[in-house]
A and B are shown apart, each in its own frame.
Chain A
């Protein structure tokens, strides 16, 4: 899926570039008259107004058409159709405007933009519609220059050459464009395949890191405590009991219920819980089903805010118990709350406290999450942290 999108994107870029080049060709193609005039060449077509009308229409249209193509980088069907209609009209009109014995070469003035149009149809409409359009343009050219045919071989040869050029340019433009776009898609697909391989490797790496985190956690905590006890040279003291309780709390929050693997978030929360327990704050963890993959900045913000909320409980709530719950909200968000049954505070009076607003509210907001602090004097405090739903991270 990603490959297809990347491929389309790449070939779309190539097409934009081609469209812009077509626009520039059109600008250049209306220059012969003004340049010739600037060089001092004077000419008097037999039907001056008709010739001027033909040129004016053509030049004006080239500016409109080319301007839009440059700006948007695209040639929609209606613009192409209009372009062909204008060009065909000009071919007929300026041909008639220059109908003198010697006018055929100058009448060719309308042929140059016609070549540009033929190129565009090859690029954008290849193949059936492009060839049909080229034939139509050639036919109009022939109609416009038909009155000159009586002047003989030079005109007829020129006309045949121009008709073949119109058709030839269309074919060449079409074939080359198709080839270019095909290559762009191949390159994009290859790049996407490489990227996906790299992502896969990164995911493998992350899983390995996750296992290492868990391993380190167990090693640094539970195992070392168990080893200390197993060596047999410690008294069962209040301190040892507290440490064992801390290990149990950490393990409990890590195991998180129904045998789901501990995500980095849960492992980090377990460390926070253990740290608090070792300092004397027992944290009861209830961990529900959580998404497997959170962006690292979400984990960092949630864990940091949790730590701060628990610090606040330890410092200000006047209790040695707190509850940590983590689960998925109904809208797919991750909801973590830290609740105590301690003193609480009146939000009107204390306004959340500096620690609360800086370390929790600002931290969550900066990372892209939200937080809510609910407290009242004597009813404990509830800090709720939210990280928006899955699809926003995918």
Chain B
């Protein structure tokens, strides 16, 4: 049997917290060890990742008006891996949390197995790239967005539409392993983009590229 993964769940809705714990009880290798309604509350009980939860399922918008990206940063600083969860995909906040180091993003409409898979991937140190996350990345039109290669865009776009990675690879004309590598590379570009403040030179270059229309993430041809 696989080792049990300890989870923390942070959500401002107590009913959802209770429900989530009960729901996840059906999955033998996942156990909810701690729930909290704010990041501060969670860190009070579990100051640092260790024997306790390894992965935190974090609601995108908490009612204490904390900034989603700050929440991720605080949890990352204590060594937690973070999987973002929300009912509605607000792309601006999702992008910010991914850039702040969240390992993945999943909407609340998925069934249990999808959530469990994502949690396992994050626990294993891999990103959890769901179609909804791929969609948000593929629709990113910000000036300071990471630059994606045409092949990366093709895989990302096909995967964003809901195809399996296998089918997305086929539609983008690459091997399965290559497609997987592309997706992870895209995710890494975002995590890295969050770290250093971009230089003015880089921004100027991005602006120039946008003007001549070379960069076209999110188009699926």
Residues of B within 8 A of A327 (CB): 135, 139, 218
Tell me the bound Cα distance from A289 to B88 in angstroms.
15
- B160 nearest CB across to chain A (Å): 7
Judge whether B167 and A257 touch: CB under 8 Å. Answer: no
CB interface residues, A 282-330, toward B, < 8 Å: 282, 284, 286, 288-289, 322-325, 327, 329-330
Partner of A337, one of B89, B109, B161, B221: B161
Q: What is the 8 Å Cβ interface bit string for chain A, positions 150-180, against chain B (1 contact, 0 not)?
A: 0000000000000000000000000000000
Tell me the bound Cα distance from A258 to B161 in angstroms.
19
Across chains A and B, the number of contacting residue pairs, with CB separation under 8 Å, is: 84
Q: What is the 8 Å Cβ interface bit string for chain A, positions 204-245, against chain B (1 contact, 0 not)?
A: 000000000000000000000000000000000000000001
Partner of A341, one of B89, B164, B218, B221: B164
Residues of A within 8 A of B111 (CB): 282
- B76 nearest CB across to chain A (Å): 25
Residues of B within 8 A of A284 (CB): 107, 109-110, 131-132, 162
Write the chain B residue with the least CB distance to A376: B170
SS of B interface (majority): loop
Write the chain B residue with the least CB distance to A339: B162
Judge whether B131 and A286 touch: CB under 8 Å. Answer: yes
Q: What is the 8 Å Cβ interface bit string for chain B, positions 168-198, against chain A (1 contact, 0 not)?
A: 0011000000000000000000000000000
Q: What is the 8 Å Cβ interface bit string for chain B, positions 125-137, against chain A (1 contact, 0 not)?
A: 0000001100110
Judge whether A384 and B109 touch: CB under 8 Å. Answer: no
Tell me the bound Cα distance from A324 to B162 in angstroms.
8
B219 within 8 Å of A by Cβ? yes
Tell me the bound Cα distance from A58 to B177 in angstroms.
86
Q: What is the 8 Å Cβ interface bit string for chain B, positions 52-91, against chain A (1 contact, 0 not)?
A: 0000000000000000000000000000000000011111
Judge whether A379 and B87 touch: CB under 8 Å. Answer: no
- A247 nearest CB across to chain B (Å): 11
Judge whether A382 and B163 touch: CB under 8 Å. Answer: yes
Judge whether A380 and B88 touch: CB under 8 Å. Answer: no
Residues of B within 8 A of A258 (CB): 90-92
Write the chain B residue with the least CB distance to A325: B161
Tell me the bound Cα distance from A284 to B134 in angstroms.
13
Judge whether A339 and B109 touch: CB under 8 Å. Answer: no
- A287 nearest CB across to chain B (Å): 9
Judge whether B88 and A286 touch: CB under 8 Å. Answer: no
B151 within 8 Å of A by Cβ? no
Judge whether A380 and B167 touch: CB under 8 Å. Answer: yes
Partner of B219, one of A252, A282, A322, A330: A330
- B153 nearest CB across to chain A (Å): 10
Partner of B88, one of A252, A322, A325, A339: A252
Residues of A within 8 A of B139 (CB): 288-289, 327
- A241 nearest CB across to chain B (Å): 11
A268 within 8 Å of B by Cβ? no
Q: How many residues of B contact A (CB 8 A)?
A: 30
Judge whether B220 and A286 touch: CB under 8 Å. Answer: no
Residues of A within 8 A of B90 (CB): 257-259
A374 within 8 Å of B by Cβ? yes
Tell me the bound Cα distance from A379 to B170 in angstroms.
9
Partner of A325, one of B92, B135, B167: B135
CB interface residues, A 366-394, toward B, < 8 Å: 374, 376, 379-380, 382, 384
CB interface residues, A 6-33, toward B, < 8 Å: none
Tell me the bound Cα distance from A31 to B170 in angstroms.
81
- A328 nearest CB across to chain B (Å): 9
Residues of B within 8 A of A337 (CB): 161-162, 220
B166 within 8 Å of A by Cβ? yes
A255 within 8 Å of B by Cβ? yes
Judge whether B109 and A249 touch: CB under 8 Å. Answer: yes
B96 within 8 Å of A by Cβ? no
- B132 nearest CB across to chain A (Å): 6
Can you name 9 extra interface pairs (CB under 8 A) apart from A284-B131, A286-B131, A382-B163? A248-B87, A257-B91, A284-B132, A288-B135, A288-B139, A323-B161, A341-B164, A379-B166, A379-B170
Name A's B-contacting residues (CB within 8 A).
245, 248-249, 252, 255, 257-259, 282, 284, 286, 288-289, 322-325, 327, 329-331, 335, 337, 339-341, 374, 376, 379-380, 382, 384
Ordered by A's residue number, 14 sampled pairs between the chains whose C-beta atoms are within 8 Å are A249-B109, A252-B109, A257-B90, A257-B91, A282-B111, A286-B131, A323-B162, A324-B162, A329-B221, A330-B221, A337-B161, A339-B161, A379-B166, A382-B163
